[in-house]
Structure 1
Amino acid sequence: MRTIRSLAVLTAVLGGLQLSLAAPGHADTLVSVTAQNLHLTADPGKANDVTIEPAGDDVQITDTGDVLRVQGSGCLTVTANTVRCPGPITVVNATLGDRDDRLVNKTGITTRVKGGTGKDTVDGGSGTDIFTGGPGDDVFTGNGGDDTFVADVLADGRDTFSGGPGTDLANYADRVNPLFVSLDGNADDGEGSEGDDMRADVENVLGGKVDDTVTGNDAANKLDGRGGTDTISGRGGDDDLIGGGGKDVLKGEGGDDRLRGVDGGFADTLNGGSDTDTCDADAADTEIDCEV
């Protein structure tokens, strides 16, 4: 009987050991530093709530939605949810996960944020931030600095982009379907019924590979249609309109605008509108109300 009992205990111990070996040992959000670059990778299945802020010469990361685990040397664990990394840090790279995550950057460090599949909310800092959305309905706020909002190749949710102070760019360069983008704060931007909301404090737009309709606002906008047959309207402000490849229509409207139709021989229409406009045209283009 004693032998049977001993075998049963040994079997239970070995079974528990097998389970512990099979289960992942560390399912936490990871933080590391290499060559003055801080990396944060969210743990799948967790709704991360991350704050990145200065702590003297260091950078402190807090995640109230998950445990933070330091990888490699350099960073220091303060609590289960707080890590401090020594400066100088020149770039922060953050990759969010599959839940509805939140990230707030309170530093002036250049920050690159890649959204996950959830509905993410990201507030940039006072420096240059680069935001790339995922499939969810994301809200990106640049705050200070010259920020860039990068769209995925295909429609990726009803996103909201707010630039804040600085000169900010909406980058749809990888898009392969026609776009409608207007810098007016209405949720009708992107492709088809995507429903992005490009706020009026985003100044510049980089269009996609095919036929786009891009409309500026009363700020000084730089609007580049790139490939396809594009219609680009500056509205108010001193705008820089670039047709790119294709038979484009450029309309400066108000302000002292520059219209660039030199694109390899496509028959563009360049209409400066009111005020004093400069048109860079080739032989195939039509110029209207171009003073220079």
Structure 2
Amino acid sequence: MKLSRTARVATPALAALALTMALAGPASADPALVTRNGGQILFTAQPGETNTVTFSQSGGFLQVTDTTSILLPGPGCTRFNNVNTVRCGSQTGVTRILASLGDRDDTATNDTSIASDLIGGEGDDKLVGGTGPDRLMDSDGWNAAPGSDTFDGREGNDTIVSRNGGFDQIRCGENPGDFDILLADSAALDVVVPNTCEFVQRG
């Protein structure tokens, strides 16, 4: 059977496309979105992602890195070096970091002195604050005792809400002079590292 010129040209292209699709495998989850709105940095995970995100200050810039998810830079942010890192301009003027992790087993770490709101969603999450005043909250906790800290406020006057009906282990912080507030479940669910929270209220 003789192929027309159009078919002869199209056949290799179609074969290459099929090979590319096969190598790519199933479609991955949408990338997490990072934007800057005035003094606020916003990180929004998409459904189906596992996020391991760190906020840091590098070379005078506010930098966001996610080692397990691609990041999509939105307004006020640009990609830096690779698909897992974005920078959102000068750290000067940034007053708060807001991160919403969504589903899956996620980790968020604030390695800055900037205040942050780190919010876990479904899944076994770990939230780590910085040296400023942080607010850490998770909506469901773990399904079983985690065996390591699920909340760590570190330095600063932090507010932690682990009252979610799941298992958690909480370390508010051990910096002298800080005043940390914890709203927790009963002792049967939430383990609090001794001498790290100045105020604890259990529900």
TM-score greater than 0.5 by the shorter chain: yes
Matches within 5 A, 1:195-274: 195-200=189-194, 201-208=196-203
**Equivalent residue letter for 1:102:** T
Contact 1:122 1:140 in 2 (8 A): yes
Deviations 1:133-173 (A, max 9, x none): 12232701011001111134x51x1111101122111125x
Residue 83 (structure 2) pairs with residue 71 (structure 1): no
Q: Where in structure 2 are there 5+ consecutive unaligned residues?
A: 15-26, 143-148
Question: Which whole-Å CA distance do the structure 2 matches of 1:118 and 1:41 have between them?
Answer: 16
**Equivalent residue letter for 1:56:** G
Contact 1:118 1:134 in 2 (8 A): no
What is the TM-score with the length of structure 1 in the denominator?
Answer: 0.53
Match of 2:102 in 1: 97
Match of 1:81 in 2: 84
Structure 2 counterpart of 1:62, from 56, 62, 65: 65
Matches within 5 A, 1:173-192: 180=186, 189=187
Question: Which whole-Å CA distance do the structure 2 matches of 1:101 and 1:49 have between them?
Answer: 6
**Equivalent residue letter for 2:57:** P
Higher relative contact order (CA 8 A, sep 6+): 2
Contact 1:95 1:114 in 2 (8 A): yes
Match of 2:24 in 1: none
What is the TM-score with the length of structure 2 in the denominator?
Answer: 0.75
SS in 2 for 1:81: strand
SS in 2 for 1:132: strand
Match of 1:107 in 2: 112
**Equivalent residue letter for 1:59:** L
Q: Which has the larger strand fraction?
A: 2
**Residues paired across the two proteins, number:** 173
Match of 2:168 in 1: 159
Q: CA RMSD in A?
A: 2.7
